[in-house]
Amino acid sequence: MHLDMTKADRIMAILLALLGLAMLIGGYQMDRLEIRQIHPASIPGLVPMILGGLLVLCAFLLFSSAVEEAKQQDHDEAVELTEADRKEKRALWRNLIMCALWSVVFALLLVGNMPFVIACGLYISVFYAIFATDEPVRSLQPKAIALLLVKAVALGAVASIAISSLFRYGFLVRLP
């Protein structure tokens, strides 16, 4: 079975654009809090509206990229996959599966079972450690592995503190 990735990207772009538009419209239609003397900029739908707009923008970029890729594929149709291409394709699938699994572990096991700032830091640190290098970890020198882990922990700590602070103090959301 051959997958036409450019067609899949175009279909996904349309679906993401529809989802983004629904988020934008839904966020706009949410109740306002002005009745309770709360600043108009703190409407509950502000974040969904922003995310919906950004999702529409990303969908547009994905669609235009897929159209360009389709044009390029028309020129390269006769080229056969080499062994290096097959290896790269397997690595891409492995990365996708690893990303999805780690995200599910974060959502289902980490969040709610430990403080959010720790769960977020752990998620970001492990994610960075997994995807920061294209080389297999077993081929790295011990010094490079140690440096990678230090960077991962530092990035996870800084990012989780920033994310938690933004949600707690900027969006006034109580985190688990």
Residue-wise pLDDT tens digits, 93-134: 888 888 899 999 999 999 989 999 999 999 999 999 888 876
Based on the fold, state whether residues 96 and 71 are members of the same structural domain. Answer: no
Based on the fold, state whether residues 54 and 99 are members of the same structural domain. Answer: no
Q: At what angle do helices 142-165 and 116-131 cross, to 10 degrees?
A: 140
Indicate the residue among 78, 103, 124 that finishes a domain.
78
The residue with greater pLDDT, 126 or 38, is 126
1 band by pLDDT with thresholds 50, 70 and 90 = very low
Based on the fold, state whether residues 95 and 168 are members of the same structural domain. Answer: yes
Q: How far apart are CA 13 and CA 55, in angstroms?
A: 9
For residue 53, which of 22, 12, 9 has the smallest C-alpha distance? 22
What are the Cα distances from residue 168, in Å, to 106, 111, 116? 19, 15, 11
52 contacts 22 by C-beta, under 8 angstroms? yes
Res 83: pLDDT: 72
74 band by pLDDT with thresholds 50, 70 and 90 = low
89 band by pLDDT with thresholds 50, 70 and 90 = confident
Based on the fold, state whether residues 2 and 69 are members of the same structural domain. Answer: yes
Based on the fold, state whether residues 90 and 73 are members of the same structural domain. Answer: no
Based on the fold, state whether residues 5 and 70 are members of the same structural domain. Answer: yes
87 band by pLDDT with thresholds 50, 70 and 90 = confident
In one letter, which amino acid is 142? P
Q: Is residue 75 classed as helix, strand or coil in its secondary structure?
A: helix
Q: What percent of the chain has pLDDT over 70?
A: 86
Q: How far apart are CA 124 and CA 135, in angstroms?
A: 19
Whole domain around residue 148: which residue ranges?
83-175
Based on the fold, state whether residues 133 and 170 are members of the same structural domain. Answer: yes
Based on the fold, state whether residues 71 and 107 are members of the same structural domain. Answer: no
Indicate the residue among 52, 78, 104 that finishes a domain.
78
Based on the fold, state whether residues 116 and 142 are members of the same structural domain. Answer: yes
Res 115: pLDDT: 93
> What is the number of domains present in the chain?
2
Based on the fold, state whether residues 70 and 100 are members of the same structural domain. Answer: no
**Beta bridge mates, 114:** 111
27 band by pLDDT with thresholds 50, 70 and 90 = confident
The residue with greater pLDDT, 62 or 93, is 62
Based on the fold, state whether residues 40 and 123 are members of the same structural domain. Answer: no
Based on the fold, state whether residues 72 and 143 are members of the same structural domain. Answer: no
